[in-house]
Structure 1
Amino acid sequence: MTYPKPFMSLADLAAFTGLSEEYLLSVYRRKDNDFAGKLDPAKKNSKIFFDTEKFDQWRAKQIKLEVEAMRRKGCGVA
Structure 2
Amino acid sequence: MAVRRTLFLGLLLSLAACSGSEQGTAGEDEARPASRLPADNVFSGQVRALEKAEGLEQTLREAEQRQRRQIEQQTR
TM-score by length of 1: 0.34
Larger relative contact order, structure 1 or 2 (CA cutoff 8 Å, min sep 6): 1
Structure number having the greater helix percentage: 2
TM-score by length of 2: 0.35
Structure whose CA Rg is larger: 2
